[in-house]
Amino acid sequence: MKKLLLSVFTLLCMTFVYAQMNDSDVDQLGNQNFADVDQIGYMNDSDLLQDGNNNWGKVEQFGTTNYSDLHQNGNGNDFYTTQDGTDNTALVYQEGNGNSGGEGSLIWGTYQIGIDNYSVTNSIGNDNDAGTFQDGTINQAEIDQQGNGNVTNGPWWGIRQNGFSNDALVQQYGDFNYDHTEQWGVDNQFKTTQTGNDNWADSYQDGNRNLGGGTYLIWGIRQFGDWNNATSSSIGDDNNAGTGQFGDHNISNIDQIGNRNDANGIWWGNYQVGDNNNAFIGQYGDDNFAHNEQRGNHNTASATQNGTFNDSQTLQVGNWNMSTVTQSGFSHYSNVYQLGNNNTDTVNQSN
């Protein structure tokens, strides 16, 4: 009888242990694929591969040692992925045709709430979209899209990280690019590269060690060609920023509100080389510095710094130049140099 009870007890324990040892693996190779994996708690894993035709996806894992890897190769792709807590990672790869990030919604495609977050999303070609949203702890994320309808996803996501050791990297190499990167608190850092076609980017960082590409790096947003635009904003703490646009319908904007502002590097803090340039930097309080440099075509530049160790500098080399610098309080310095064509300038410094 004792042996029987012991055997039943052992069996129950083993059943409990195995019930908690989540893992999953789904492979579907052709035609009207759809897959769905839900795992609730303990040593989650997943892996979902769909090779061709009307793929969709979705994985949700809620607690402990999460990991996921969703790989969809061709045709109607989409994906979802939600991981809720502990050692999150998610890696997604979609290669061709209808790529996206969340079935029937733009603001999804990875979503991780807490602890050791990390995410990578690739979408190689066709109607790309993407996503990512990470809520707290050792965040890090990357989206890499090679070509066609790139977006990076929705009005709120396209990487968005809320707290602790944030980092974000977005790379879009061609076609209808757009991006958005948003980070709120602690060790922020971001880098966006768009190399061609209808570019636009955005970025917003709220507080703590902001930057734009890392210490000593002249980055933050950089765009190589076509209908560029770029904005960047850093509300408070050790701001930096970036931007560099090299050709076509450039415009840029950097707006930093308080603390160790800079606007980034020896070359960037705007910096635009050719075509319909424009540029602005802002910086409204604390240890400001700026830079604007535009070398050719319909230049305009501005700088506006309101308080503390202001600096500025501006260099425009050719075509319809114009410049405006306004600095209001404390250690002003400016220095504008415009070499050729329809120059104009205004500098106001006050105290």
The answer to whether residue 332 scores a pLDDT higher than 90 is yes
The verdict on residue 164 lying in a domain is yes
34 assigned to some structural domain: no
Inside any domain, residue 86: yes
Is the residue at 78 inside a domain? yes
Question: What is the C-alpha separation between 304 and 283, in angstroms, rounded?
Answer: 7
CA-only gyration radius of the chain, Å? 24
State which residues form the domain around 258. Answer: 73-349
Q: What is the pLDDT of residue 52?
A: 85
Does residue 59 lie in a domain region? no
> Per the domain annotation, does 49 fall within a domain?
no
Whether residue 281 lies inside any domain: the answer is yes
Is residue 237's pLDDT more than 80? yes
Could you give the number of structural domains in the chain? 1
For 27-79, the pLDDT digits (tens) are 888 899 998 988 888 999 888 998 888 988 889 988 889 999 999 888 898 88
Q: Check residue 86 and give its pLDDT.
A: 87
Q: Is 138 exposed, middle or buried (0-12, 13-18, 19+ CB in 10 A)?
A: middle
Give the pTM. Answer: 0.86
Please tell me the distance from the alpha carbon of residue 152 to that of residue 180, in angstroms, as a whole number.
7
- From the number of C-beta atoms within 10 Å of its C-beta (0-12, 13-18, 19+), residue 11 rates as exposed
Domain presence at residue 307? yes
Structural contact between residues 129 and 143, judged by C-beta atoms closer than 8 angstroms: no
Each residue's pLDDT tens digit, 68-110 = 999 988 889 888 888 988 899 899 988 888 988 876 655 678 8
Residue 311: HSE in the Cβ half-sphere, 13 Å Cα cutoff: 14
pLDDT for 106: 58
- Contacts (Cβ under 8 Å, ≥6 apart) of 24: 37, 39, 45, 46, 47, 48
